[in-house]
């Protein structure tokens, strides 16, 4: 992968006798939106806290923009912004005042504060004390804070936490726009697999401290064929032929004449052979691929979170 922004190599973390991370590699390319997913206890937050410089790994290497985080934390973390778990603010100050303080620390200006308050739809509450904000409002403010000062890499841990469906949609659009228009690279974790599938171009799946899958979502799911949709000239007769020849395919017929058959790519030649032998050649055929949720559950032994 050219021009990686984040590289993890052989990362391990032990807490006494417990090995939370068991040594894995991961690469996030510049300009990507990378989804980091796994069940509760898989080690996602530990990994994110290590990348953010909040926890030291037991062994392994984390490189940000090509710089080793352990050897030169300040240089490595330049351009890095993080939102880990619940964002922390000064509760007695307003949302605008909080962002203004963080803007000065990150080299951003007042125009950026105004732009981001509008983008996360907090203009109406910008002069209210943050101590009176709801969880969703604090989450929006935290995302605005993470985007101050034209960051290069933004790490978000459960960014949709506390948001209603409309708020989730707005945050997805915000992340897409910052990525597309301002070139921000995102590394985010979430239990909301539908959001990950809509938003991310690459994912890594962590399970029991190991990275069990990594790559482009389309490439990972392309190998996860769960069945086929097909058409023949005489659907009822073709269905009966399949039921006799391949009962394990559990063939069934839709109202529009489409036949559905279960099975992976290994069953495809048998489907064709059974139908041809019965005089029902296939005129259209489409593979049915697993959803990200089904693929995730298969890799993580049915553990969602």
122 lies in the same domain as 43 = yes
pLDDT (0 to 100) of residue 167: 84
214 lies in the same domain as 230 = no
pLDDT (0 to 100) of residue 214: 92
> pTM for the full model?
0.79
162 lies in the same domain as 88 = yes
Domain boundary residue, one of 190, 220, 250: 220
What pLDDT, in 10s, does the model give residues 145-195?
999 988 999 999 988 887 888 888 888 998 999 999 989 999 999 888 888
Residue 296 lies in a domain: no
Q: Tens-of-pLDDT digits for all 305 residues of the chain?
A: 568 999 999 999 999 999 999 999 999 999 999 999 999 889 999 999 999 888 999 999 999 988 998 888 888 888 899 888 777 899 999 999 999 999 998 888 899 999 999 989 999 999 999 999 998 899 889 999 999 988 999 999 988 887 888 888 888 998 999 999 989 999 999 888 888 988 999 999 999 999 999 999 888 877 677 889 999 999 999 999 999 999 999 999 998 899 999 988 888 899 999 999 999 999 999 888 777 887 888 788 755 55
Residue 209 lies in a domain: yes
How many structural domains is the chain composed of? 2
32 lies in the same domain as 150 = yes
pLDDT (0 to 100) of residue 185: 95
Domain boundary residue, one of 220, 242, 262: 220
pLDDT (0 to 100) of residue 287: 84
Percent of the chain residues past pLDDT 90, beyond the cut? 57
Residue 256 lies in a domain: yes
CATH of the domain at 150: 3.40.50.300
Residue 300 lies in a domain: no
Domain boundary residue, one of 200, 220, 240: 220
pLDDT (0 to 100) of residue 168: 87
83 lies in the same domain as 97 = yes
Length of the chain equals 305
Residue 199 lies in a domain: yes
pLDDT (0 to 100) of residue 291: 78
CATH of the domain at 232: 3.30.70.100
Residue 297 lies in a domain: no
201 lies in the same domain as 247 = no
What is the distance between the alpha carbons of residues 200 and 215, in angstroms, rounded to a whole number?
11
Residue 305 lies in a domain: no
pLDDT (0 to 100) of residue 170: 86
146 lies in the same domain as 58 = yes
167 lies in the same domain as 24 = yes
Residue 302 lies in a domain: no
114 lies in the same domain as 160 = yes
77 lies in the same domain as 19 = yes
Range of the domain at 279: 225-289
89 lies in the same domain as 111 = yes
197 lies in the same domain as 75 = yes
């Amino acid at each position: 992968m050219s021009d990686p922004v984040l590289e993890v190599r052989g990362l391990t973390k032990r807490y006494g006798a417990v090995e939370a991370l068991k040594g894995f590699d991961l690469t996030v390319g510049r300009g990507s939106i990378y989804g980091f997913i796994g069940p509760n206890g898989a080690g996602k937050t530990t990994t994110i806290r290590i990348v953010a410089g909040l926890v030291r790994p037991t062994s392994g290497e984390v490189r940000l923009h090509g710089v080793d985080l352990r050897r030169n934390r300040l240089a490595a973390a330049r351009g890095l912004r993080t939102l880990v778990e619940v964002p922390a603010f000064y509760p007695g100050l307003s949302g605008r005042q909080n962002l203004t303080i963080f803007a000065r620390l990150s080299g951003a200006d007042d125009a950026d504060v105004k732009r981001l308050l509008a983008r996360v739809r907090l203009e109406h509450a910008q002069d209210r004390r943050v101590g009176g904000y709801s969880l969703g409002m604090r989450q929006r403010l935290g995302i605005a804070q993470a985007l101050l000062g034209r960051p290069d890499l933004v790490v978000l841990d459960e960014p949709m936490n506390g948001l209603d469906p409309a708020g989730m949609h707005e945050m997805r659009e915000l992340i897409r726009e910052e990525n597309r228009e301002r070139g921000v690279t995102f590394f985010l974790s979430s239990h909301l697999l539908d959001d990950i599938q809509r938003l991310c171009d690459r994912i890594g799946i962590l399970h029991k401290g190991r990275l069990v899958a990594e790559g482009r979502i389309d490439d990972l799911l392309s190998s996860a064929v769960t069945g086929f949709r097909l058409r023949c000239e005489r659907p009822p007769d073709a269905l009966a032929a399949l039921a006799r020849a391949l009962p394990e395919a559990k063939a069934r017929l839709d109202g529009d004449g489409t036949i559905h058959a279960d099975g992976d790519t290994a069953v495809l030649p048998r489907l064709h052979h059974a139908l041809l032998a019965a005089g029902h050649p296939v005129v259209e055929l489409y593979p049915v691929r697993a959803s990200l949720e089904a693929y995730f559950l298969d890799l993580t032994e049915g553990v969602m979170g």
